[in-house]
Amino acid sequence: MSFETIMRGVLDRIEGARGWAFLADDGEIVFRQTVGDFETLPLLAAYHGITVGNYRRFGLRSLLENIRTIVCTYDEAVCILKLFPENYFLVLVLARESNVGYALWLLEQAMPALLEEIG
């Protein structure tokens, strides 16, 4: 099953999901999907890419070694960052009202298949 198919299954099961992007630390988007016309996904994804990349580049790699997920909350959205090996990560963007716990659980369930796809 492709990375996009796996993540489409996650996206379709979360009420208020806006989209996701799979990126390298340098902000390059490898894959992405949106729900509807969500034009700000690349900008949000790149912003988080800079943050995660800076942690890894500036000697804070050890801080990230034991972190698998980062949740960022904003006025109108929640971004879930899922860290992957080899300097990649996924950003899942949800509406503020979305069930974040359920989204985290779905991502955790999808991780073995996602890791197999990029492995």
Q: Specify the CATH superfamily of domain 3-118.
A: Dynein light chain 2a, cytoplasmic (3.30.450.30)
Average pLDDT rounded to a whole number, residues 78-85: 91
pLDDT score of 41: 87
Q: What single-letter amino acid sits at 101?
A: G
Per-residue pLDDT band for 103 (boundaries 50, 70, 90) equals very high
pLDDT score of 82: 92
What's the predicted TM-score (pTM) here?
Answer: 0.90
Question: What are the residue ranges spanned by the domains of the chain?
Answer: 3-118
Average model confidence (pLDDT) across the chain: 88
Residue 28 clears pLDDT 80, i.e. is over it: yes
The CA-atom distances, in angstroms, between 84 and each of 21, 35, 37 are 13, 23, 27
